[in-house]
Structure 1
Amino acid sequence: MVCRVGALVIATQRIGYQPERSSGVCDMARNRIVWFNILCLACMVTVGVSPVGVSPAGAQTSTKKPVVERSPLLKEPTTPEESFVASVLMVDLARLDLAAKYLDQFQESEPDDSLLLRLRDKHGTAEFLKLAATKELQPGAMTLLEQLNAAARKQAEDPAIVDAMIQRLIQGPPERDLAITELRNAGAAVVPEMLRKMSEPAMIEHQDTFVVALTRMGNQVIPPLIGALDSPDERIRAAVIDTLGWLDAAEAIPYLWFPAFDEQQPMGVRDAARRTILKLSKGSADRGDQLSSVVASNELKRLAKMLYRNTDILPVGEQGGVNLWSWDSQQGTVTEKNVSPDIAALFLSTRFARQSLALSPEQAEPQRQYLASLLGLEVLRHGWEKPRVADPGSAMYLGLTAGEETMAQVLKEALEAGRPSTAVAALEVLSQIGTREQVLSQSGLKSPVIAAINSPDPRVQFAAATTILKLEPKHGFSGSNRVVSILARSLTDSHNSRAIVIDADNRRGRFMTGVLSEGGFEGFLAAAGRDGFEQATTSAGVEVICVHVNCQRWDLTQTLSNLRADARTSAIPIVVYGPAGVRESVSRLVVRSTPAVYVTESATSSDFLDQMLPYMKTLRTPAMSPVERDQQKSAAAYWLANISSGSLGRIFDVSQAEKELSTAAEDPAIAKNALIAIAGIASGSAQRRLSDVALNPQTNEGIRQTAASQLAYHIQRYGLSLTKDEVIDLHSGWKQTQSPIVKSALASVIGSLRPNPTIVGERLRQFPTPPAN
């Protein structure tokens, strides 16, 4: 299946083509004239009625309340259609009280789908929209519009109804005009069936009729027609290109470059595409000497790069997604799918990069761009939490075959473009095919793998840290301390989306943590900017930092500057909140601290969240799911244990993570690796932590066994650091434990304490002689 988005707007200018108006417009005009004449007649009949607030000559002014004006209609509506038309007319006359009355009459008649569609075809969708936009007619008018939309969708999705429209389309001028009006009103949803019918051999003679119908349906058909450019039928492709030209569809130019110069396309399609490009971009089809395959390849390369680096150039619908129209070979027509802006942009980038590569196979840039977009698209489509497997036919597999140099460049460009999905995939590929040179500066330039540990994105940071460890560097390097710090932060992830609130006013700050809790965040309050910075840099899962404008002990400017300067917090969204009157004075500071937004403080949580949450939804990378966090936590514990017990400990200092490892020792999922890592830290606190876990009767016996074994190892390696009382507790716990495996492990600890001969002799005498058999 090949997909295209039909709504990409490139910087080109439409040139004023106006499609022919249908007879439906004339019907609406005639209908308005009829009602205007009725109104005039009504005015003549009621000429004796004095206007409100004006007394006839010679009459005394009345002190009574003025009587409400009568309806200007000569005759009250008696049918549902007359009630609908009367309601629209009263809106035009600003008689909204009467408009509501007639609309109620219309809705009380319970109009069915056929009546709604007939009214739409006769009077136009604009009349329904006018009623829905009138505040005084709500909620009834909006309900009516929703009923019409539902009826229209049902009509467009019914092949039999659409087929009947198409049959009328080919029956001659009278029927054709009515069919075009019906098809136009049905919208883009009928285009797939029209394309399917066009491909039938019996419809070849009616090709021009379909082109005229599609053209008169207007710009709404452009997106599905762009999707139809990948039809395997040459006749369909040529007709679609001609239609796009008649519609002055400048947004279609990017999709015409490849068919215009692809040698695999028939000459008729290539010529049609070139003529349309020239018409839309140059205003004339007679300047073909300005186009070439080189120009086309360069333009496609530019488009691919632009979409890779800028997601926000695509138009986003009300649901927050981008509509992609695709050619479905099984259905023999186009289908529509709504996807996220990131997926849409990467998909289009892959399409244009692949086409540029086909026109210029020897160019390295479209090669890298195609691979980069493929890798990022694969990650997003499969989901962040799914393991990335290099199966044959996958982008990861293709990356393995591309070589270390190409993948390093792909990683570098992904970091520059802010594409975390591509960066993570590239790092995972490099972890399998890369060499130790990737952690060294190359030709005076910083290694992209090292640069990735300072990426704003936490996923990229973690992937970079594990990639470096898999490459097993033999020497230290600039930024090596960041590796352990990244792993340590992942150990303490609570599975909740955390929010740091920095506010010197304790009461207001506590209120804010409550507000954020309603928004799905676990709030942590810091009274000073410095304290909030410390919490943000040492905690995992922080997804937003809320800072009051009157921040103290770092002021607002210093707090925001430090948050943006530190790689651990540089990409965390910041919400600056305060009074409405302060917004303007801090606007430049907020802009410089992007991603950041100013939110007016409110007495209600709903008002604050209504300002904050829409902004949070616009951020590119979604929050990590609980599955992802568990995966990172498990991997972090494994690598810290590996560093602690192996040769990597000479380069990476695990003691930086002692606090996080000590907490992780209570987590059954990662406790064993955490204890192994603790055993590699030469400190008395590490030894005491191992002893505490080993002696805790509430802890799982498997974890206690590991703790006791690692305690014995720690004592052998670094010497005894426990106090006399702690040693006594150790002996007591050893004697009292009932678990054989724990008792055995603690025995190794007792032996590591180097008991004197008297104690050894006493223990030996207590051991019975084995029986003869």
Structure 2
Amino acid sequence: MTVFSDPTRRVLAALVVLVSVLPGAAMAQRAATLWDDFNHYLLIARPELAAGAGEALLEAVGDDGPQLLEVVESSDFADFETALIRATKVAAVEPVAKRLLAKIQEAQVAVARDPERIRANIERLAVNKRAFINAVERLRGAGQFAAPLLLETLQNPKQASLHPFVQEAMVSIGRSLVYPLSEALPQLEPVQQQQISQVLMRIGYPQALPYLQEAIEDPSTDPTALTYLVAARDALVATVNVPAETRASVLYVAAGEAQYVAGTNKTEIPGLGSQSVDSTIWEYTPETGLVAIKVPDAIFADALALRSAVKSMKLDPETDSAMTLFLRSNLRRENRLPEGAVDPSYATDMRPASYYAMLAGPERLHEVLDRALVDEDPVLALDAIEALRKTTGANALVAGTGGRQPLLRALSFPDRRVRFRAAEALAAARPVETFDEADRVVPTLGEAVRQSDTMYAVVVADDNANLNTVLGIVGELGYEAFGGLSREDVEEQIALLPGVDLVVLALGESDVEGFFLDTKGDRRLGGTPVLALVSAAEQITLTETFRAEERFASAVMTESVGAMQAAVASVTERYAGYRIEGGEAEAFALTALDLLERIGSTDPVYFAGDAEVAMIQALTDERESVVVAAGAALENLPSATAQIALADAALRASGEVQLSLLASLAESARYNGNKLDDRLIRGVRELVVSSEGALALEAARAHGALTLPTESGVEQVLRYTR
């Protein structure tokens, strides 16, 4: 907020009162004076007076941005951007300067794109050289939005005298016209194709190549126009590394890929510049001419890539790469569409993106998933996995495409949601033959079961000082941390845990490399992120060695606890993804437990016992639904540990949970025999004697399934016999 001195406040108040009573013409004159005053006070370093004049100027023009622009452009201080940007660096003037700058820029856009102003400037092109220069400058301000009327002028034979000037103006305006003019090119009449191909050739941006090639390949193209089109195509091909004979369908895919990459990296879209300015899709038909469709900035790159893919498929329906590009750009377009926003460029008769994903089949979906993993796009990866899960059998899920197995790689993806969904899809498919990474599926399901519980970290260091330092850092980040001076020191503890969420290594380069490679074949650690704290030189080598490993990260071991804590926090955040809580966490746990129950101990590929510790831990979960599901999953395991945990939980529980756990205990005993110790057997017998109603029935069922001595049965018979 600008604070004015008393004299300045009096001047400002007088100015505001004055401008509020002035008539139109006088108001315009007063606005011009205030703009001059604003700049004058800036030049003589009187910021408070400049701020006062600026406030009065804004009050004078009100909502009339074009009037403010007219005042600025006709003054001796027309270079408003320089003046106002300089003013924003002065604290007393900054607020009003920013408001003036925004209002003038907004008015510039509105005025520049006004159709009547554009049309008038087109007419001025032929007046004289000075008028041509001024008109082109104003048309350049309109940018791509001048294209419809410029093209309309070329299509009007009554304005033939303007045509040479319009073409020259188009070339002078340059890159901003390439996209809309290219969009129209294939559907233009022969004369206009000749004119526009010449313009595009002279502007020289290769963005026009696929459109030129499409017109060249069209058998109905006029022979004379074809000559111009080929000349333009050859001139542009010479500027890029593309063979002249490249088909339009291939060029459209290449253009779409470049647009998609720009959307991934949030960089300039080739030929269009910043994505945050005028996110406009252009369409052309002979009936409507060029039509601008404004789309949300967040989806602009994907909307462009989608259209490039569609153009390619129209020209060659067999272009698989175009379908893959269409799928991922369409899915990502939906994902990035802001809440409550619509995409007017997406035809109303088009289906949701998921429809086309399921329709496309496994090979294309594997390609989408592969790209999502490379781009570290978890939302797109989840879309691809969901479509694969719904449409693809076990063999196709595992096989992948082109030697790549993205669904298997997804088991080690940084985002835990992706890992969980990949494991769910692979488990639900129930393959009959083992495959690479099969032993990662059940531990990942175990991770899903326990993911809302304590997070565990393993630390291995080369001396006790480093070990204690790193244990403290990891502990402060919320991990239950333990460690040792070697892999052997931590093996026993790892075996007792339901899972490991992070491994931190403070070792030498060769030891780090050996430890990490060992984890790749370990069912418990094969999907766990590993952070190496090493010297600067070792970090360079390790980064290069493990460049392709998504779960490996390194940082420099320093004396700064804060720096190392930041490194640990960074890898944790990157690998885990957004926190999973509430209903979502419960849904993941229940899905995983359901799959583990179905896998059991007889599945030809998976063994649910690999998640036994996580399932046993789930028996103490606060969520009753998870406890019940854990009991159902554990009843299939043959181990004494599983049955003992079930019995212990059943005797401690109450209500419906106790009934369910007793039923699971009975099933465990029925299939696996009695594996309980004397303490738990006594507990079951005592429950039989003391319970009533539904609880008595389930206790009796468990007692019988455990084949306990008939003593308790006799007691109950005699108890109620007269």
Same fold (TM over 0.5): yes
Query: Residue 652 in 1 paired to residue 606 in 2?
Result: yes
Q: Show the 5 A alignment for 1:1-80.
A: 79-80=33-34
Query: Residue 195 in 1 paired to residue 148 in 2?
Result: yes
Deviation at 1:110, TM superposition (A): 3.9
State the AA in 2 paired with 1:373. Answer: L
Partner of 1:480: 438
- Summarize the Cα distance change of 1:577–1:729 in structure 2 as closer, same or farther, 3 Å threshold: same
Q: Show the 5 A alignment for 1:321-720.
A: 324-327=279-282, 333-338=291-296, 350-361=306-317, 366-367=319-320, 369-383=321-335, 393=351, 398=356, 428=386, 431=389, 434-435=392-393, 437-438=395-396, 453=411, 458=416, 461-494=419-452, 504=466, 552=506, 554-555=507-508, 558-559=511-512, 562=515, 566=519, 586-590=539-543, 592-594=545-547, 596=553, 623=578, 626=581, 630-644=586-600, 647-648=602-603, 650-665=604-619, 666=621, 667-697=623-653, 701-720=655-674
Deviation at 1:333, TM superposition (A): 2.3
Whole-angstrom CA distance in 2 between matches of 1:153 and 1:327: 22
Deviation at 1:253, TM superposition (A): 3.9
Whole-angstrom CA distance in 2 between matches of 1:620 and 1:238: 55
Deviation at 1:748, TM superposition (A): 0.9
Q: Matched residue of 2:624: which SS?
A: coil
Percent sequence identity over aligned pairs: 17
Point out which structure has higher relative CO (alpha carbons under 8 A, 6+ apart). 1
Query: Residue 749 in 1 paired to residue 696 in 2?
Result: no
- Summarize the Cα distance change of 1:163–1:323 in structure 2 as closer, same or farther, 3 Å threshold: closer
Partner of 2:54: 107
Contact 2:256–2:308 (8 Å) recurs in 1: yes
Query: Residue 98 in 1 paired to residue 50 in 2?
Result: no
State the AA in 2 paired with 1:119. Answer: V
- Cα deviations across residues 338-364 of structure 1 (Å, max 9, x unaligned)? 555xx66665555445444444455xx
Whole-angstrom CA distance in 1 between matches of 2:229 and 2:397: 49
- Cα deviations across residues 704-726 of structure 1 (Å, max 9, x unaligned)? 22211010111222222222222
Partner of 1:132: 85
Whole-angstrom CA distance in 1 between matches of 2:265 and 2:371: 19
Deviation at 1:652, TM superposition (A): 1.6
Partner of 1:94: none
Contact 2:456–2:500 (8 Å) recurs in 1: yes
Contact 2:148–2:289 (8 Å) recurs in 1: no
- Summarize the Cα distance change of 1:229–1:489 in structure 2 as closer, same or farther, 3 Å threshold: farther
Deviation at 1:486, TM superposition (A): 1.8
Whole-angstrom CA distance in 1 between matches of 2:140 and 2:359: 50
Q: Show the 5 A alignment for 1:312-327.
A: 315=267, 324-327=279-282
Deviation at 1:662, TM superposition (A): 1.8
Whole-angstrom CA distance in 2 between matches of 1:588 and 1:295: 43
Contact 1:453–1:460 (8 Å) recurs in 2: yes
- Summarize the Cα distance change of 1:600–1:762 in structure 2 as closer, same or farther, 3 Å threshold: closer
Query: Residue 277 in 1 paired to residue 233 in 2?
Result: yes
Partner of 2:678: 724
- The Cα RMSD (Å) is 5.8
Q: Matched residue of 1:98: which SS?
A: coil
Contact 2:448–2:589 (8 Å) recurs in 1: yes
Instruction: Pick the structure with more helix per residue.
Output: 2
State the AA in 1 paired with 2:624. Answer: P
Deviation at 1:639, TM superposition (A): 0.7
Contact 1:484–1:653 (8 Å) recurs in 2: yes
Contact 2:323–2:364 (8 Å) recurs in 1: no
Partner of 1:62: none
Contact 1:259–1:273 (8 Å) recurs in 2: yes
- Summarize the Cα distance change of 1:344–1:704 in structure 2 as closer, same or farther, 3 Å threshold: farther
Q: Matched residue of 2:292: which SS?
A: strand
Deviation at 1:248, TM superposition (A): 3.4
Unaligned runs of 5+ in 1: 1-77, 91-96, 517-521
Contact 1:354–1:370 (8 Å) recurs in 2: yes
Whole-angstrom CA distance in 2 between matches of 1:182 and 1:620: 51
- Summarize the Cα distance change of 1:510–1:424 in structure 2 as closer, same or farther, 3 Å threshold: same
Whole-angstrom CA distance in 1 between matches of 2:588 and 2:101: 50
- Summarize the Cα distance change of 1:395–1:499 in structure 2 as closer, same or farther, 3 Å threshold: farther
Q: Matched residue of 1:137: which SS?
A: coil
Deviation at 1:377, TM superposition (A): 3.4
Q: Matched residue of 1:670: which SS?
A: helix
Deviation at 1:484, TM superposition (A): 0.8
- Cα deviations across residues 29-69 of structure 1 (Å, max 9, x unaligned)? xxxxxxxxxxxxxxxxxxxxxxxxxxxxxxxxxxxxxxxxx
What's the TM-score once normalised by structure 2's chain length? 0.68
- Summarize the Cα distance change of 1:576–1:714 in structure 2 as closer, same or farther, 3 Å threshold: closer
Whole-angstrom CA distance in 1 between matches of 2:481 and 2:590: 28
- Summarize the Cα distance change of 1:138–1:170 in structure 2 as closer, same or farther, 3 Å threshold: same
Contact 2:47–2:92 (8 Å) recurs in 1: no
- Cα deviations across residues 306-358 of structure 1 (Å, max 9, x unaligned)? 67788666625999979753136899622343555xx6666555544544444
What's the TM-score once normalised by structure 1's chain length? 0.64
Whole-angstrom CA distance in 1 between matches of 2:93 and 2:224: 53
Deviation at 1:687, TM superposition (A): 1.6
- Cα deviations across residues 483-535 of structure 1 (Å, max 9, x unaligned)? 21121111122299999999947678756776x6xxxxx55656669699998
Whole-angstrom CA distance in 1 between matches of 2:658 and 2:313: 59
- Summarize the Cα distance change of 1:124–1:393 in structure 2 as closer, same or farther, 3 Å threshold: farther
Q: Matched residue of 2:451: which SS?
A: coil
More deviation, 504-513/661-670? 504-513
Partner of 1:165: 117
- Aligned length in residues: 644
- Cα deviations across residues 611-670 of structure 1 (Å, max 9, x unaligned)? 998x999x899647657655443321211011117x52x432111101111233323343
Contact 1:500–1:536 (8 Å) recurs in 2: no
Unaligned runs of 5+ in 2: 1-31, 340-348
Contact 1:168–1:175 (8 Å) recurs in 2: no
- Summarize the Cα distance change of 1:474–1:394 in structure 2 as closer, same or farther, 3 Å threshold: same
Match among 743, 747, 764 for residue 717 of structure 2: 764
Partner of 2:27: none
Contact 1:564–1:571 (8 Å) recurs in 2: no
Q: Matched residue of 1:327: which SS?
A: strand
Partner of 1:7: none
Whole-angstrom CA distance in 1 between matches of 2:50 and 2:383: 58
